[in-house]
């Protein structure tokens, strides 16, 4: 069957490979691993996902609806800011709602309390995003803990009076004072990071927020845990979570990776629609673009991998600029073919080319 390009092709065998590994991590570590829609939301694959995981994470009313109406379970929702218009949908379609600031928490506290009183059978658990002021993300644009970041509450801004005092009978309290119904922390400071980076991040998180962790029900460690990458230290990840749960037996640990689910599960398939030549340089115009199909490549130092290509070092080579209409490939006059990413890549010409998702 001929399918018109461009299109993303998901290979079920590769997707199930990733899902199996993720489920194994969840079972061995005791953490819940949920899918982040902002990285992967191809809803036709949801029946497969439901065989391995139970929940997803959303960042907008429509993603929350996607979780409830298509995935079949309420979302863990976080957004830098909510509005009165969006909050009814967010509450209806979420099991967990995380606030980015104390002002947002105070603003929407009455709506959450009213909703939970009206729906005692499925109350929403509220959390607060915290900023550990530590991240190993090198690209500043993607660093949520950079100085002046809009993401999360600093430890110094959390007043101890928000918490109930420890009871005298030795039981661990698991919630904030009832006037601020917070039951969990959310910390996101990774991007395609390693287990070793998580190990160092946990040290900073506990150093700054450890005094409050025994008073919570859950801790969401965000996304960026690229556990399906070939060189990822999966045993260390499992050990870190097991140790964390031993230190804080009151906490349910949540991970919400996105890329880890879809990592190398298929190509973006495109067609060469024209080849132009200027001063001996041939440029292939494709029917895809970075803006529409690979937007992260404009912000991060990502290079799409072209299937069947190889890296070539050639001092004579040079690349034409990226056009506004699509992804370009250039060729030097002696016939060597090039694919344009962020570095020089050789590929064979054909009607179609593909880059990894």
DSSP string, 260-294: HHHTTS-EEEEEEEEEEEETTEEEEEES--HHHH-
Last residue of a domain, one of 262, 296, 327: 262
Q: Domain range holding 233?
A: 7-262
Q: Three-class SS of residue 323?
A: strand
Residues 92 and 238 in one domain: yes
Whether residue 2 lies inside any domain: the answer is: no
Residues 272 and 232 in one domain: no
Whether residue 153 lies inside any domain: the answer is: yes
Last residue of a domain, one of 231, 246, 262: 262
Residues 149 and 21 in one domain: yes
Mode of pairing for the β-strands spanning 281-286 and 267-278: antiparallel
Question: In whole angstroms, what is the distance from residue 53 CA to residue 35 CA?
Answer: 8
Whether residue 1 lies inside any domain: the answer is: no
Contact 328, 284 (CB under 8 A): yes
pLDDT of the residue at 355: 39
Does the pLDDT value for residue 311 go beyond 70? Answer: no
CA 222 to chain centre: 7
Does the pLDDT value for residue 193 go beyond 70? Answer: yes
Q: What is the mean pLDDT of the segment spanning 257-279?
A: 93
| DSSP codes of every residue in 62-127 | HHHHIIIIIISS-EEEE-S---TTTHHHHHHTEEEEEESSHHHHHHHHHHHHHHHHH-TTSPPEEE
Residue 219 CB-half CA count within 13 A? 24
Contact 182, 176 (CB under 8 A): yes
Residues 230 and 274 in one domain: no
pLDDT of the residue at 356: 36
For 134-173, what is each residue's pLDDT tens digit? 898 888 878 888 888 899 999 999 875 455 443 434 444 4
Residues 211 and 314 in one domain: no
Find where tokens 């230290």 sit: 233
- Residue 60: count of CB within 10 angstroms of its CB: 17
Residues 58 and 125 in one domain: yes
Q: What share of the chain is helix, strand, coil (3-state, %, to 5)?
A: 30, 20, 45
Q: 164-168, 192-196, 257-261: lowest mean pLDDT where? A: 164-168
For 223-247, what is each residue's pLDDT tens digit? 999 999 999 999 999 999 999 999 9
Residues 146 and 170 in one domain: yes
Contact 192, 302 (CB under 8 A): no
Residues 75 and 142 in one domain: yes
Contact 304, 297 (CB under 8 A): yes
Question: In whole angstroms, what is the distance from residue 260 CA to residue 258 CA?
Answer: 5
Handedness of CA 253, 357, 327, 321 (dihedral sign): positive
Residues 130 and 249 in one domain: yes
Per the structure, the count of domains in the chain is 2
CA 124 to chain centre: 22
- What lies within 8 Å, CB to CB, of 21 at 6+ separation is 227, 228, 234
Report the CATH number at residue 192.
Answer: 3.20.20.10
Whether residue 342 lies inside any domain: the answer is: yes
Question: In whole angstroms, what is the distance from residue 90 CA to residue 76 CA?
Answer: 10
For 320-345, what is each residue's pLDDT tens digit? 444 434 434 432 323 333 333 322 22
Last residue of a domain, one of 262, 297, 318: 262
pLDDT of the residue at 163: 52
């Amino acid at each position: 069957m001929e399918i018109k390009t461009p299109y993303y092709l998901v290979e079920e065998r590769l997707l199930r490979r990733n899902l199996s590994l993720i489920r194994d991590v969840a079972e061995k570590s005791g953490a819940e691993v949920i899918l982040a829609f902002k990285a992967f939301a191809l809803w036709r694959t949801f029946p497969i996902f439901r065989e391995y995981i139970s929940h997803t994470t959303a960042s907008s009313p429509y993603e929350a609806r996607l979780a409830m109406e298509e995935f079949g379970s309420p979302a863990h929702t976080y957004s830098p800011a909510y509005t009165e218009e969006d909050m009814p949908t967010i509450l209806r379609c979420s099991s967990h709602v995380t606030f980015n600031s104390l002002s947002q928490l105070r603003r929407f506290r009455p709506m959450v309390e009213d909703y939970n009183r009206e729906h005692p059978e499925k109350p929403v658990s509220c959390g607060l995003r915290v900023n550990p002021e530590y991240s190993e993300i090198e690209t500043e644009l993607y660093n949520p803990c950079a100085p002046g970041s809009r993401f999360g509450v600093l430890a110094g801004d959390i007043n101890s009076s928000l918490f109930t005092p420890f009871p005298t009978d030795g039981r661990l309290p698991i919630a904030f004072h009832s006037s601020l119904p917070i039951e969990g922390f959310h910390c996101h400071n990774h991007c395609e990071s390693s287990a070793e980076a998580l190990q160092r991040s946990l040290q900073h998180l506990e150093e700054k927020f450890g005094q409050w962790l025994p008073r919570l029900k859950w801790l969401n460690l965000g996304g960026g845990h690229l556990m399906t990458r070939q060189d990822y230290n999966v045993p260390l990840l499992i050990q870190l979570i097991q140790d964390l749960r031993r230190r804080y037996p009151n906490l349910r640990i949540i991970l919400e990776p996105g890329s880890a689910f879809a990592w190398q599960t298929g190509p973006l398939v495109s067609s060469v629609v024209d080849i132009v030549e200027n001063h001996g340089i041939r440029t292939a115009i494709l029917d895809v673009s970075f803006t529409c199909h690979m937007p992260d490549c404009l912000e991060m130092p990502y290079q799409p991998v072209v299937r069947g290509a190889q890296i070539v070092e050639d001092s004579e080579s040079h690349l034409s600029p990226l056009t506004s209409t699509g992804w370009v490939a250039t060729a030097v006059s002696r016939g060597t073919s090039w694919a344009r990413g962020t570095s020089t890549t050789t590929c064979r010409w054909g009607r179609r080319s593909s880059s990894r998702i």
